[in-house]
A and B are shown apart, each in its own frame.
Chain A
Amino acid sequence: SSELTQDPAVSVALGHTVRITCQGDSLRRYSVTWYQQKPGQAPILVIYGDNQRPSGIPDRLSGSTSGDTASLTITGAQAEDEADYYCESRDSNGKHWVFGGGTKLTVL
């Protein structure tokens, strides 16, 4: 089991807002990174440093943290946002990296 816990699946109606969460004790100390992965592709970086968005990532994706929980919010979800989303951070000892189990986002 992962030290970072994500809901396995979330769905959102087209154009609506959805929040994907990632929970873990290490998030109180270390920042989180979010990756988006579509079928048959390598993941891509969508949020880093808890809430920073790389160039080229739509501003409808945003990140935030509170205590031991990090969130990826998609405001006005589009069909192209349908994907698996993974959070990543340090483990509780800070020595290794760990991914959350991933959340499959379905846009209805």
Chain B
Amino acid sequence: QVQLQQWGAGLLKPSETLSLTCAVFGGSFSGHYYWTWIRQSPGKGLEWMGEINHAGVTNYNPSLRGRGTMSLDTSKNQFSLILTSVTAADTAVYFCARRDYQLLRDWGQGALVTVSS
């Protein structure tokens, strides 16, 4: 079973850039998987942010309004999320996950990112 381990800066100031990375253990990027980022604002629900497949094809939630970029590094078995110009509204727990066809079967542990001046 694949394991996802994520990390990144936990405290940012408004207008800074959020950067998170998720390492994949026990699996590869090949095949039908979509490598996904999801976030959850404090006390709120889940928000799908976007995904990237093994070929680097991305699909973003329009709500990111062009601020988000997802990438993958197959040599390191890692994928990453960059979110620019953060505001307090981007404060959330960010999860990486692997979509297996339609299912988010495997999740990272989550990483809290706080945006505060």
Q: Which residues of A contact B (CB under 8 A)?
A: 2, 31, 33, 35, 37, 42-45, 48-49, 54, 84, 86, 88, 95-102
Interface size on B, residues (CB 8 A): 19
A42 to B94, CA, bound (A): 10
Residues of B61-113 at the interface with A, using a CB-CB cut-off of 8 Å, are 61-62, 95, 97, 102-105, 107-110
Contact A96–B95 (Cβ < 8 Å): no
A6 to B45, CA, bound (A): 11
State whether the Cβ of B11 lies closer than 8 Å to any Cβ in chain A.
no
Contact of B109 among A42, A84, A98 (CB under 8 A): A42
* Set of chain B residues within 8 Å of A88, measured between Cβ atoms: 46, 48, 104
Known: A35-B104, A96-B61. Is A42-B47 also a contact (CB below 8 A)?
no
Contact B103–A96 (Cβ < 8 Å): no
**Nearest residue in A to B104 (C-beta to C-beta)?**
A45
State whether the Cβ of B116 lies closer than 8 Å to any Cβ in chain A.
no
Contact B45–A42 (Cβ < 8 Å): no
Contact A42–B103 (Cβ < 8 Å): no
